[in-house]
Structure 1
């Protein structure tokens, strides 16, 4: 099981990135909250990993903070939540906000996340409330958690649309949401994606 990696960032195309470590390039996927904290291409980076092994695939998922990885793992234990949907959830909300919604039973706000309907939101609250209460209660009240810094990106709007599609939105919906964001060409793709997903969660 691969749990952590330190190497050189070689590529980043949301939601995928490649880190070179020991002469090997590791391809992985990450939520937008992690993409916002990535350094420039060619810089060193350290990430917490979840290694998902299935009969037909072996995938790596990367997270800036260990707590995000732990929440991702808890999400995978919820019925009907796969890796792609768990990634979309952590892209649409900061970990702190997600934990707070679960602990407060705010299924209405959770239902606004991409790919999450009312029934799934209620299931998230029901299955995660006790687990989060014992493991992440301090996270819900910690106001000191740093926000992810933005990074530059080429053709940010186009990259954001591709990332939204990869996270489960249909192409017309992804395009529409990005086109509604003011000053989108001056924002990094990671921030555009987060604004689009945040709008869905209102």
Structure 2
């Protein structure tokens, strides 16, 4: 199985991208959350991957963080949820929001995603209850609590989730919550 891919981004056609790895172009499907955080064409990129093998195709899915890949794999295990629906869910909400919706059994957050109705949302909540906890995983060598605290503070100050996530990813790995908020605000001021 292909677990990670690193190369040069040569094409962006949402939700598809192409990464050149030593002369071989790999087509990947990515959620919009990953697509927004990719570098410009010609930039170096490294993605976690999931390879799906079907009768008619081998499809490679790419994710910026290990958390996104874990969420994707959890979602496609739910009966009636395919890869496209899982990508739509990850494109429509952050892992943190998805985790909160599952922990709080809040279907109202899920039904806002195109293609997710009340029955599908209820099935997701039922099947993932107690199984979907990303708090034990780290991203970018930061403790999730530090990252999520900074993210929550920025969103409480009125910045969008996308802007806040992008700012948090730019922060050093060993930063404290207060220093992280201060540096993120300085980024927004530029």
Is this a same-fold pair by TM over 0.5? yes
CA distance in 1, matches of 2:44, 2:88: 26
Following superposition, the deviation at residue 138 of structure 1 comes to 5.6
Q: Is the 8 A contact 1:34 1:148 kept in 2?
A: no
Q: What TM-score comes out, normalization by structure 2 length?
A: 0.73
Aligned counterpart, 2:166: 148
- Give deviations 1:88-109, integer Å, cap 9, x for gaps: 0000001111111111100122
CA change 1:92–1:111 in 2 (3 A) is same
Ranked by relative contact order (alpha carbons within 8 Å, sequence separation 6 or more), the top structure is 1
Any idea what the Cα deviations from partners look like across 1:64-84, whole Å, max 9, x if unmatched?
A: 001100110010100100000
Where does residue 116 of structure 1 map in the other structure?
116
Structure 2 spans left out of the alignment, 5+ residues: 138-143, 152-163, 168-190
- How big is the shift at 1:143? 2.7
Aligned to 2:15: 15
SS in 1 for 2:98: helix
Note the 1:13-162 alignment, pairs <5 A.
13-132=13-132, 135-137=133-135, 142-144=148-150, 147-148=165-166
Question: Does the residue aligned with 2:129 lie in a helix, a strand or coil?
Answer: helix
Which of structure 1's runs of 4+ aligned residues deviate more than 6 A?
Answer: none
Structure 1 residue 112 displacement after superposition: 1.6
How many residues were matched structurally?
147
Shift of 1:144: 3.7
Which ranges in structure 1 are unaligned for 5 or more consecutive residues? 150-202
Deviations 1:107-158 (A, max 9, x none): 12211211100011011111111101xx424689633456137xxxxxxxxx
Q: Aligned Cα RMSD in Å? A: 1.7
Distance in 1 of aligned mates of 2:64 and 2:135: 20
Whether the aligned pair in 2 keeps the contact of 1:107 and 1:125 (CA below 8 Å) is: yes
SS at match of 1:51: strand
Contact 1:111 1:117 in 2 (8 A): yes
